[in-house]
Amino acid sequence: MQLTALALWLNTAFAGFDEAVATAIHQLYVAAGWFFTPFLSFISLLGKGGIFLILLSIALMLFRKTRRYGTTMLLALAIGALVTNVCFKPLVARPRPYTHDGSIFQQYWEMLGKHTESDKSFPSGHMTAAMAASLAVFLRGNKKVSWTALLFALAMGVSRIYLSVHYATDVLGGVITGSIGGFAGYAISNRIPESFYTADFRDYIDRLKAKKSGGKGAGRSTAAAAAAEPSDGRRRTLVIDGANFSTMDGLFREFNRLFDVGPDEAVHSLDALNDLLGGGIGKIPAGARLHIRWLNSEKSREDFGYGATVIYYEKLLRRCHPNNRPRMEALLAEARRGEGETLFEKLTALIARTDTGHDCTLSLE
């Protein structure tokens, strides 16, 4: 077989290194092949074609709390696959190690079940996918925990050498191409509009219903209907229902309907919500004494937990005044550690106030 110049260079310049690593990893077979062979075969299977990781990315994208992880992973996988399969594999065209007759690689390969691959060897596509996905999770998550994702990439690299379907240099090449995908995917995901990450399918359905019904009748939310409830004699009771929203945009729409706020005065921030609760906007008169009943509040407590809090502070950090950045960064770091005030706690504290110009009580149900 005629080798390309790059393949020939890899096979000669790194021959000793590749053999030494393969021999060292083969000691796992000697020590406990009954365990490592099925285990590493399974790990290797998870990287085949990137299908498992792609499906995992898509699954994570379905949920608002994990959408950033899924999006970053999917972008990283796509970029890594492009760099590996379109650029390097055809260019280098390195044959698989088990094709070298009489080599230790072929001996190990025959011993471990003769796993065959259809494409070229450098760089490892499995390693590219594993590294891209793992690095995406590491960069996106809390580094104190997310570093564990890199263990999957490590296991993938070991499995490919163990099964003798890749040289150690193929795996190192996959680390490089996977890292390119991971960093690029992370950078691109940070430029995607915030609305993509905070959008909720249920809120979209709610908007369609409201649009279809013209804002009247069955299409209106519980909150909108509750605005017409009579006062209890002391405070005007209004109802919001956590079943109708799971994002900040959804919450703001709930209050806008509840107070019958026009488009020009619609609430889109916590400061605006605070002004709204003071009265004088929409159908609630200024100085009104209010009582808010928050139905399905436990669902909202989960929806606006630390995951949503991180998203909230990330959004604020991108647009805040430079003088406020240290404080926003500190609050964001605290939320990422799962510490401090959650967005739900911030919301309930904002609603339940009885100071000057704001007289509102709150019950969580």
Shared-domain flag, residues 145 and 79: yes
Euclidean distance between CA atoms 62 and 72, whole angstroms: 13
Q: Tell me, what amino acid is at 78?
A: A
Shared-domain flag, residues 44 and 173: yes
Task: Mark which of 175, 192, 209 sits at the end of a domain.
Answer: 192
Shared-domain flag, residues 147 and 112: yes
Taking the alpha carbons at both ends of the chain, their separation in whole angstroms is 74
- Name the residue range of residue 214's domain: 200-305+342-364
Q: Is a pLDDT exceeding 60 seen at residue 222?
A: no
Average pLDDT over all residues of the chain: 84
Shared-domain flag, residues 255 and 355: yes
Give residue-wise pLDDT tens across range 47-68: 888 899 999 999 999 887 788 8
- HSE, side-chain direction, 13 A CA sphere, residue 285: 5
Shared-domain flag, residues 20 and 48: yes
Hey, what long-range contacts does 298-303 have (CB within 8 A, 24 or more apart)?
A: 298/242, 298/364, 299/242, 299/243, 299/246, 300/242, 300/245, 300/246, 300/251, 300/344, 301/342, 301/344, 303/242, 303/245, 303/246, 303/247, 303/344
Shared-domain flag, residues 183 and 297: no
The CATH number of the domain where 358 resides is what? 3.30.370.10
Shared-domain flag, residues 72 and 161: yes
Answer whether residue 266 is part of any domain.
Answer: yes
Closest of 44, 185, 183 to residue 126, by C-alpha: 44
Contact criterion met (CB below 8 Å) for 128 and 54: no
Q: Tell me, what amino acid is at 183?
A: F
Give residue-wise pLDDT tens across range 76-120: 999 999 999 999 999 999 999 988 888 888 888 888 888 888 778
Euclidean distance between CA atoms 20 and 294, whole angstroms: 65
Euclidean distance between CA atoms 88 and 67, whole angstroms: 30
Q: Give percent above pLDDT 90 in the chain.
A: 41
Answer whether residue 315 is part of any domain.
Answer: no
Answer whether residue 278 is part of any domain.
Answer: yes
CA distances to 266, 342, 363 from 293, rounded to whole Å, are 21, 20, 5
The token pair that represents 186 in the structure block: 């992370």
| Matching residue, tokens 């950078």 | 187
Say what the pLDDT of residue 119 is.
79
Task: Mark which of 192, 227, 254 sits at the end of a domain.
Answer: 192
The token pair that represents 263 in the structure block: 């488009």
Answer whether residue 311 is part of any domain.
Answer: no
Q: How confident is the model at residue 204 (pLDDT cuts 50, 70, 90)?
A: low
| Matching residue, tokens 């590491």 | 138
Say what the pLDDT of residue 72 is.
94
The token pair that represents 63 in the structure block: 């949920």
Beta strands at 236-241 and 359-364: parallel, antiparallel or unpaired: unpaired
Task: Mark which of 192, 218, 253 sits at the end of a domain.
Answer: 192
Nearby residues of 223 by Cβ (< 8 Å), 6 or more positions away: 238, 239, 240, 241, 244, 254, 255, 257, 258
Number of folded domains in the chain?
2
Answer whether residue 326 is part of any domain.
Answer: no
Shared-domain flag, residues 152 and 279: no
Shared-domain flag, residues 172 and 225: no
Shared-domain flag, residues 186 and 208: no
Shared-domain flag, residues 280 and 179: no
This model's pTM is above 0.75: no
Q: How confident is the model at residue 276 (pLDDT cuts 50, 70, 90)?
A: confident
Say what the pLDDT of residue 209 is.
59
Q: How confident is the model at residue 71 (pLDDT cuts 50, 70, 90)?
A: very high
Contact criterion met (CB below 8 Å) for 80 and 182: yes
Shared-domain flag, residues 43 and 155: yes
Give residue-wise pLDDT tens across range 223-264: 433 433 434 457 788 888 888 888 888 888 888 888 877 777
Say what the pLDDT of residue 198 is.
65
The CATH number of the domain where 77 resides is what? 1.20.144.10
